[in-house]
Structures are given as structure tokens and as C-alpha cells.
Amino acid sequence: MKIGLPKGLLNYKYSTFFETFFFELGTEIVYSSDTNKEILDLGVKHCVDEACLPIKIFHGHVASLRDKCDLLITPRIMQIRKKEFICPKFCGLPEMLVNSIPNLPMITTAPLYFFSKEKLYSWCIASAEKITKDRSKVKAACTKAMEKQNNTSYGIKNQGFRKNIALIGHPYNIYDSFINMNLVKKLNKLGVGVITEEFVEEKDLDIQIQKLYKRPFWNFARNAFGFSTFMAEQKKIDGIIYISSFACGIDSVVIELIKSGIDEFPFMVLKIDEHTGEAGLETRIEAFVDMLGGGINYESNLSPLR
């Protein structure tokens, strides 16, 4: 049995879990290639027009794998933390895929809750149904996968730059360098270091979200709001860049929450879709870096010997 693991969406964060689980069950794993133009085009072709770029790209990854495997990992992630939700498009992802892309192999449809061991285990049982009936094997694989996932660290924390910014955005916007057009590299070249939300402590997040009238509804809102307001308050950074996709309902809210939480702190939103041009993006980044006072002698950063 061949398992297809599409890149894209939260697989950027949880691929370790899926990989380990299916590897332990003795199956072969096929990956989709890194996002590229073909994948994007495939996605645009198969996905509903109104969807956001990351969802379209995921459709592309899935379509590119459909003839290469027997079971596709299309995680229906319902919740990551208790009482916090994620985007409805994740909850309805398998339905979107089967009804939009013809000739799909089997796909995983069981709901996935990351906050509870039991629920993760039930996902594993359901997803391994066609592979093995051996419960103890599934349990062992599940435990191992959880351990490995918990030991994997994510995040970007550049060191040694004169100016630093906090980079906010959904993991797939931050880690997919096709989507963000190598944003991190571009910033580094301009002499700007990047730090992402993984490097803030839970307790600091908790303090920050107390400032909201209402406990954030989404897991993502909690992280993004807590992280950016904390970093701005502590003056640990010089500015904030938020990378977002057009038509993202969650971002439209989180951006506003952050804006009202950081006052005048330098903040830029980069919005992308399949029509975004690289030149325009570069100009905006440069202008922002200039504003932070970082662009003036950035060349000296590149060639310190001169």
C-alpha cells in the first residue's frame, strides 16, 4: 500500500506525525513535490474559485499525487487546542477534495483532534483500517508518532541581524516559500532577521490574550495576537510583517485584533493570491525595511569585509 502525503496546509506542521505513523505500519510514503507553478495551476483548475490560495494549492498537491498512491492523507483537522477552533475549510477539506477532483484514490476522512490522545488514536484506527487490523500495532505506531511529533520543533529565529521583525501568518504561508516568494530569504538579504511565533512562551500568550474582551475563538488567533502584542510590548523586535492570503476570513479578523493591540508599532500586511507579482512584493518589503531604518546600510551586512 502506498500512502500519499501532500505538502501544503497544516501538513507543514504535522507531517512528522503522519510520516512516522504510516512508516511504522510498514507502508511506503510518496510525497508531492514542493509547491511550484504546475501544482498551483492544477489547484486553480480543480478548486472552487472563491477559495483562498493555500486551499487551491493543497488541491494541486492532492491532484498531483492521485495516480501515485492508494491512500491520500487529507487531514480533517477539527481542533488543535480544546475549545479553540480552526478554519471551517479544514473541517470540510475531504468533502471539498472528493467533490472537486475526479478519480481520487482513497482519502482519509476521519476527524482529527490534536488535543487528546484518545481522539488521535481513533483517527489512527480509522485511517489505518485498510492497512492493518492489528490494533496493538496501530497503537504502537500512534504512540511513536505522537512522541516524534512532540519532539519536533518548528519556527524560524534568525540571529545576528541589526533589525528584526516578527513574521506572522499561517504555517503554510510561512513555510511554503513558493507561496511567500522566499520572503524570509529576501528579508535576510536586506539585513533583517525573522522570528516566528513558536518562540514565545505559553504563559506570555496567556497574559496577552487576557486583554481581549473575549477568549479568542481560533487557535491561530491566540498565537498570532499573543505573539505579536507580546513582542511589540517587550520591544524585542522592530516591526511586524503579517503574511496573509486574500479571502482568508480568519486573517481579516486577526489582523484587526493585532492592529488594535499594538497601536502605532510598525506593522505591514502582505496579501497574496495567485496573481501576486514578485516585483511588487519586493518593493513593499524594501519600503517597510527602509521605514524601520534598516535599509540604509544593509549592504555592509552582506559584505562585512569591505
Partner 1 sequence: MKVTFPHLGNVYIAAKALFQGLGIECVIPPLSNKAALEIGSLYSPEEICLPFKIQLGNYIQSIEQGADTVIITGSCGPCRFGEYGEMQMNILRKLGYDVKFIVADSPSDIGIRELFKRIGYMTAYSNKNKIQKIKSLFDAIKIIELMDSVEGEARYKSGFELRKGECKRLLNKCKSEAFNAESPGEMIEVIQHYNEKIKNVEFDAQKNPIKVAVIGEIYTIIEPFSNLYIEDRLMEMGVSTKRRLTPSWWVKNTALSPLGLNSMDIKKASKDYMALCIGGHARECIGEAVLAKEDGFDGAIQIFPLGCMPEIVSKAILPKISKDLGLPIMTLVVDEMTGEAGYLTRVEAFIDLLERRREDVLSRC
Site of interaction with partner 1 (CB under 8 A): 47-48, 50-51, 76, 78, 85-89, 91-92, 95-96, 99-100, 111, 212-218, 221, 246-253, 255-257, 260
Assess 11 for contact with ligand SF4 (CB under 6 A): no
- At closest approach, how far in Å is the CB of 201 from partner 1? 24
Q: Give the DSSP H or E segment for 181.
A: none
- At closest approach, how far in Å is the CB of 174 from ligand SF4? 12
Interface with ligand SF4 (CB under 6 A), residue from 42, 47, 194, 248:
248
CB nearer partner 1, residue 78 or residue 207: 78
Assess 245 for contact with ligand SF4 (CB under 6 A): yes
User: What is the distance between the alpha carbons of residues 50 and 108, in angstroms, rounded to a whole number?
Assistant: 24
Q: For cell 521605514, name the residue.
A: 291
Task: Give yes or no for a contact between 216 and 253, defined as CB atoms under 8 angstroms apart.
Answer: no
Assess 271 for contact with ligand SF4 (CB under 6 A): no
Count CB neighbours of 203 within 10 A.
Answer: 8
Assess 54 for contact with ligand SF4 (CB under 6 A): yes
Contacts of 143 (CB under 8 A, 6+ apart): none
139, three cell numbers: 497503537
Going through the chain in order, the beta strands assigned E by DSSP cover 2-5, 28-31, 71-72, 76-79, 106-107, 111-113, 163-168, 192-196, 239-245, 267-272
Q: Please choose which of partner 1, ligand SF4, none residue 140 contacts, taking the beta carbon within 5 to 8 angstroms, the exact cut-off set by kind.
A: none
- At closest approach, how far in Å is the CB of 62 from partner 1? 13
CB nearer partner 1, residue 21 or residue 85: 85
Assess 226 for contact with ligand SF4 (CB under 6 A): no
